[in-house]
Amino acid sequence: MNKAESERLGSLLEQRGYRAVSTAETADLVILNTCVIRESAENKVVNKLHVLRRLKKMRPGMQIAVTGCFVDVDEAGLKRKYPQVDYFFKAGDLPGWIENISPVETLAQHPPVSVYVPIIQGCDNFCSYCIVPYRRGREHSRPMDEILREIRLLASRGAKEIILVGQNVDSYGKDLPEKPDLADLLTEVNRIDDILRIRFLTSHPKDMSQKLIEQIAGLNRVCAHINLPVQSGDNEILGLMKRGYTIEQYRALVARIRRSVPGVALTTDVIVGFPTETEEQFQSTVALLRAVRFDAVHVACYSPRSGTYAAEHLPDDIPAEEKSRRLKTVEILQEEIATDINAKLSGLKLAILVDGSTKSKWHGRTRSDKLVFFSAPGDYTGRELEVRIDRTGPWSLQGSIT
Ligand code: SAH
Ligand code: SF4
């Protein structure tokens, strides 16, 4: 979501004649697009604001704007605490000096190969640990025709892959008059020529419909890749998290997805060290990861966020070292599983959409979202081509095109 919003802000500023520079030291305007999902992320923002305060002392003309989830309801309080900041504006809102530009007119001349397009803001779920509903507000879907217009324009300017983003994309459309859903939106995006691939994230296990699963299988441009955050493998912890599903329901959903979408890549999010999580409950998460064998797992140590139910009513009783040990256990296990899954791709020819290059190598992704590197003369940016997989590892693959 932040990536989508940063790209948008960048385009808006380019339209206004601004140009990106590589470091804050030479910038006239610095915008911090912040995340406070965990305390560590919030600390990074605070540190960066200190660095910028010193910088601004040396270069008084510099302007600083802060957006994203760091900006809470108490803007006056923030202004008092961080006087070096010229503007605070809420995630997704645009500040006064660029707000009169409508979204379609403001896209960059050359969008990247792969573009994040927000389709729904906010979240109505109130998982007990999560700050998102407090900072980003209730669910608010963008009208379907506005999204489609934007994607058509992106396609005409060279974008090849569209990633539809939202905190809970399965809720898309519930608040719109005609009540379209994500499956309807995917069907329409799938009709847009020149878009080779469509992805979407993030799905909520309690909201994923059979209709959507069937569309993923049936629409040729929609990639068979689903991020389905489970958070914990233990029912009691899932209850405390207020996730709205049991592990049995989650497993049944995974089985249904795998039956309907052969070869689907599944990724997930896990929190370790949630309040009261016993070793046995943690082992249920480990067992789940072994059983499902996800393509990737994003794992985080629980971090209390003030104002949330968990921070106010549950003890943060798992010591930091124990949280880290559980995190490490998940990481090591997942490295083994990913190594194994990826090794099976060795020798296969896979379609790669090339999104850029680093040093002497092109990089791109398979439809299942595996990162692949290959060397070849010429310019392959934005092209989809067959690459033979020569070597595999847990995080990326190496291939060749001859
Ligand atoms: N809407 C998505 C995820 C949004 S936040 C969902 O429902 O899963 C992204 C991830 O950050 C979450 O999946 C969760 O694993 C992690 N996260 C959120 N709040 C957290 C907290 N307080 N402590 C640790 N991890 C957290
Ligand atoms: Fe946070 Fe839960 Fe909403 Fe995801 S679904 S953004 S974890 S409240």
Residue with the nearest Cα to atom 5 of ligand 1?
A: 37
- List per-residue pLDDT tens for the chain, 402 residues long: 888 888 888 888 887 778 888 888 888 889 999 999 999 999 999 999 999 999 998 888 888 999 999 998 888 999 999 999 998 988 777 666 566 544 444 444 578 899 999 999 999 999 999 999 999 899 999 999 999 999 999 999 999 999 999 999 999 999 999 999 999 999 999 999 999 999 999 999 999 999 999 999 999 999 999 999 999 999 999 999 999 999 999 999 999 999 999 999 999 999 999 999 999 999 999 999 999 999 999 999 999 999 999 999 999 999 999 999 999 999 999 999 999 999 999 999 999 999 999 888 999 999 999 999 999 988 999 999 999 999 999 999 999 997
The bound ligand whose nearest atom lies closest to the alpha carbon of 285 is 1
pTM recorded for the entire structure: 0.91
Nearest to 320 by CA among 36, 40, 35, 34: 40
Helices (H), 137-278: 144-156, 182-189, 210-218, 235-241, 247-260
Q: How far apart are CA 243 and CA 37, in angstroms?
A: 17
Phi, psi of 213 (to 5 degrees): -60, -45
Distance 242 CA to ligand 2 centre (A): 10
Residue 231 Cα: closest atom of ligand 2: 7
Neighbours of 90 (CB within 10 A): 17
The token pair that represents 302 in the structure block? 């629980």
Residue 231 Cα: closest atom of ligand 1: 15
130 lines ligand 1 (CB under 6 A): yes
Contact indicator for 238, 245 with CB cutoff of 8 Å: yes
Which residues 6+ apart lie within 8 Å of 38 measured at CB?
Answer: 300, 301, 303, 305
Q: How far apart are CA 334 and CA 299, in angstroms?
A: 10
Contact indicator for 207, 250 with CB cutoff of 8 Å: no
The bound ligand whose nearest atom lies closest to the alpha carbon of 269 is 1
Residue with the nearest Cα to atom 3 of ligand 1?
A: 167
Q: Angle at which helices 182-189 and 144-156 pack, to 10 degrees?
A: 30
Report helix, strand or coil for 167.
coil
Q: How far apart are CA 308 and CA 121, in angstroms?
A: 19
